[in-house]
Amino acid sequence: MKPLTEQEIRAAFVNCTKGEAKRLHIPRDLAEQPWDDLDFLGWRDPQAPDRAYLAAESDGRAVAVALRSSGAASWQARRSICSLCVTTHTGGVSLLVAPLAGKAGKQGNSVGAYMCSDLACSLYVRGKRETGTRLHESLTVEEKIRRTVANVAGFVAKVTASPA
């Protein structure tokens, strides 16, 4: 994806207030991120481990989503699959919940998805990070990348979809 600046990311948040977007944690090492190998940028707040964020491109524009860990721990030891990149982990998948954008989110509505806990889906898909648990798949890396991009776009669409 195209490298994003801190300002672009802060301006791209769709499901938190402007004040929150101004204050939330953005990685300091944006310039060193492997943008060429990223389908989206995902990160966690080191000061608040239940908070996670992702920034992706949608129709050529940056879209960023604020996420929260559900806090449920009982599933952690089990083998689980990331719903974005379809990587299998043992204990490396979190249920992350995003408040919906706009009014629906203010009313407490949210959408959840299982994701790689470190949000490094792009690197798992490309074989640049390993989980130790490998599900055999006959897809090529290109196909997996396309699938991840489509899954991320689908998730972002759910967050931004305003109910009629």
Summarize as ranges the residues that interact with Zn ion (CB under 5 A): 82, 84-85, 87, 116, 121
CB of 115 to Zn ion, least distance (A): 5
CB of 39 to Zn ion, least distance (A): 10
CB of 34 to Zn ion, least distance (A): 15
Of 5 and 90, CB closest to Zn ion: 90
Of 84 and 156, CB closest to Zn ion: 84
CB of 58 to Zn ion, least distance (A): 18
Of 17 and 90, CB closest to Zn ion: 90
Of 15 and 131, CB closest to Zn ion: 131
DSSP for the chain?
A: -----HHHHHHHBSSS-HHHHHHS---TTGGGS-GGG-SSEEEEETTEEEEEEEEEEETTEEEEEEEEE----TTTTSEEE-TTT--EEES-EEEEEEEPSHHHHHTT-EEEEEEETT--HHHHHTTSS--S--------HHHHHHHHHHHHHHHHHHHHPPP-
